[in-house]
Structure 1
Amino acid sequence: MNSSNQTPAACEVDAFIAGWKTGALAVEVLTSALGVVGSGLSLWCLMNCRRIQGGMKLQLFLFFSLLLLTNSVAMPGAAVAELWAVQCRQASAVVSFGLIAFYTIAATMERNAFALMAGYRLVAVCWPHKYKMLSLRLVVALLNGFVLGGVVILWLVVFAEQDLDDLDVNNPSGYKMGRELYIAILFTPMVAALIAYVTVIVVITFRKQFAGELERGRPSMREQVSFAVGILIITNLLLDLPHMVVHLMGIPSRALSFILIHVIYRLHLALDPFIFIGANLHYRRKVLLLAIPRCSLPKASTTGASSIGKTTAGSVARPASTHTVYDAGSPV
């Protein structure tokens, strides 16, 4: 890896693109701030919830920890490095490259963790007996360690092969072997997650039709989880696909389309945790009671029936039936 600094003479500032990138930075900083709050609240909900099976809780905790890391450090650092490059600032090429590399690794790990959760939901719905074994904490830890560790190693190998003197630092898919790696460890997990999501929804829909449960009252907790799945499918598909198209087409990082698509794509870093909380009644109540301790809310039943009583901070509603088993709060 060549570590020579970029020189101002070798760079020409495009005022139009620089202005757009400055505005993009403002949006990305706001996204990061909201993402930090949302990820922190999601982790707090998980730590205070005893209703999730241990393996799924570990997966969710890892996923939101990666979101927190990306929002708090990786994404803001990369956004600043991207602005430096557009403004032709005389910053160390190694520093800029390091910031982009750190963000790329963190973001790819987060996407692969998301795909793993999708796979686990598919197994849970289609092969519940196998899910019991695969969802053991040790198995979950080993599988995530293998996949996410592999992501880190592959990117480090690619980064070590780059020549910084002749490189669009802001666009890792343009690196030597970068596009191939994007297809292998970003595009492929995205497609796998989509297939898993669609399969889960189809299976659940057919089971409900077969059981004659389409006409019901208030949705149960399990149905709330399925609702959250649908929202996340649509949200992440809409944000992931344009992002992948930009990288696979080889669009340079100074193009306006590259800048705008990345601003839109990075919105998922803030949206995912709030969807996770907002689509789950139990967690939504926890957050509301945390924000407004004196707030009075109707009690919620895990079976879908509502109660007349009220609850305030310190008196969180208990499930109406201890026989209801569900992955409370699982978004995938």
Structure 2
Amino acid sequence: MECALNIDHFTDNSTYVSRHLMVYGAVHNYIVFALGVVLNGVALWCIRKCTKTNAAMKLLMMSVFAALFVICLFTRLVMAEALIGQIYCDPMRPKPTVLLGFSLLYALFAQFELAAIAVVAVFRTAAVWASNAYVLRMRVAVAAVITIFIYSFLTAVFLLGAMFVGYIKAPVLDIVNGVYFFLNTLLPIFTTMTCYVAMIIAMRRNKRRMAQVQSSHSRVVNNATRGMMAVFASNLIFGVPHSIYHLMPRPSQSFGIIFHVLFSTHFIVDPLVFIYFNHSYRRRVCERLWAGWAWVAGKCGGPAPTTPRPLGSSTTTSLDVKMGAREKHQHAGQVV
């Protein structure tokens, strides 16, 4: 039996929530679960297989998609169940303690992802502005990841968790809520935007120096930077409305479903645009997909499909030229 769905965050502001909207929200969570696990897993695989990005930067970039992978794998099904429980008047589906735990897990890794993107942007900007070739050290990257995780854990559990269970009450609640979401959503976005603007300015002002530093590995730098800028654009489009929603003093549950559906869409858009705008990653994925298709065709008894030229060859036409360029610019590939 279905509820009347006359449910809202505030008892004095009853708002009818459309059943179709709640069903759509639940289905969307299932879609994000399935596609998010696959796409973020592929993004992690691409970064791990890359031999031209230094290990420290790979750690930072992998932390971004590892956070999204955890969100999609462990939290989307629980959020879908919560919406279904509201539709069918079952407050124990899932249990409140389980829902609270997974909500905090979601908040922890969502703000971790935004902070990690901002840190990647800061280090890339530092590399562009440095007078000499800048090499990110592994200990610096590890310290950054650990610091972000500890900060995200403490604020999610002890600040957001306190708001969830009612330890912080109005009027202080509205102030704490605004500060929390500004620091953990809008501030990382503003930081990332500032860094990429500074990076573009530096590259234009120092074309000769950048040509000397990056001429041998411009494709590596451009690919990696292009991919992360695409991820940032995705966060900008899907994340800013979500942040504004949380800064609203009394948002209805209908708004909550709409804005969280919009925000959670970037869990699958981020890895997709990251792979697409990184030419080497896109080529590697296409080659694997084509190899898988050829294997399936062979197992089914059909003729093996001929590999098309764009998937079987890169912009360099000779393997010897590739190997020579790799040996010549081996050191340059580390300066990313």
TM-score range, shorter chain: 0.7 to 0.9
Q: 1:18 Cα shift?
A: 3.2
Letter in 2 for 1:279: F
Letter in 2 for 1:24: G
Q: Alignment identity in percent?
A: 20
Instruction: Kindly provide the CA deviation profile for residues 252-305 of structure 1, in whole angstroms up to 9, marking residues without a partner as x.
Output: 3513x332222122111111112221112221122112112153425224xxxx
Structure 1: runs of 5+ lacking an equivalent: 1-7, 214-218, 310-314
How has the CA–CA distance of structure 1 residues 10 and 268 changed in structure 2, closer, same or farther, with 3 Å as cutoff? Answer: closer
How has the CA–CA distance of structure 1 residues 103 and 203 changed in structure 2, closer, same or farther, with 3 Å as cutoff? Answer: same
2:116 to 74, 89, 113: 113
Instruction: Kindly provide the CA deviation profile for residues 92-141 of structure 1, in whole angstroms up to 9, marking residues without a partner as x.
Output: 32222222122111211111111111111111111265842xx2111211
Please give the alpha-carbon distance, in whole angstroms, between the structure 2 residues aligned to 1:245 and 1:65: 26
Query: Would you say the 8 A contact 1:232–1:275 is kept in 2?
Result: yes
TM score, norm. by length of structure 2: 0.76
Structure 2: runs of 5+ lacking an equivalent: 9-14, 213-217, 295-306
Within-5 A mapping of 1:1-332: 12=7, 16-85=17-86, 88-91=89-92, 92-127=95-130, 129=132, 131-132=134-135, 135-162=136-163, 164=165, 177-208=176-207, 220-255=219-254, 257-293=255-291, 294=294, 295-296=307-308, 297-301=311-315, 306-307=316-317, 318=322, 321-322=325-326, 323-324=328-329, 325-326=332-333
How has the CA–CA distance of structure 1 residues 28 and 204 changed in structure 2, closer, same or farther, with 3 Å as cutoff? Answer: farther
Task: State the SS of the aligned residue for 1:153.
Answer: helix
Letter in 2 for 1:116: V
How has the CA–CA distance of structure 1 residues 18 and 166 changed in structure 2, closer, same or farther, with 3 Å as cutoff? Answer: farther
Q: How many equivalent residue pairs?
A: 300
Q: Once superposed, which parts of structure 1, at least 4 consecutive aligned residues long, lie more than 6 Å away?
A: 8-11, 165-168, 173-176, 209-213
How has the CA–CA distance of structure 1 residues 292 and 77 changed in structure 2, closer, same or farther, with 3 Å as cutoff? Answer: same
Q: Which residue pairs with 2:215 in the alignment? A: none
Instruction: Kindly provide the CA deviation profile for residues 70-109 of structure 1, in whole angstroms up to 9, marking residues without a partner as x.
Output: 1111233234335534654221322222221221112111
How has the CA–CA distance of structure 1 residues 9 and 17 changed in structure 2, closer, same or farther, with 3 Å as cutoff? Answer: closer
Higher helix share: 2
Please give the alpha-carbon distance, in whole angstroms, between the structure 1 residues aligned to 2:260 and 2:173: 15
Query: Would you say the 8 A contact 2:5–2:17 is kept in 1?
Result: no
Question: RMSD in angstroms over aligned alpha carbons?
Answer: 3.6
How has the CA–CA distance of structure 1 residues 90 and 47 changed in structure 2, closer, same or farther, with 3 Å as cutoff? Answer: same
How has the CA–CA distance of structure 1 residues 87 and 131 changed in structure 2, closer, same or farther, with 3 Å as cutoff? Answer: farther
Letter in 1 for 2:232: I
TM score, norm. by length of structure 1: 0.77
How has the CA–CA distance of structure 1 residues 189 and 94 changed in structure 2, closer, same or farther, with 3 Å as cutoff? Answer: same
Query: Would you say the 8 A contact 2:203–2:210 is kept in 1?
Result: no
Letter in 2 for 1:280: N
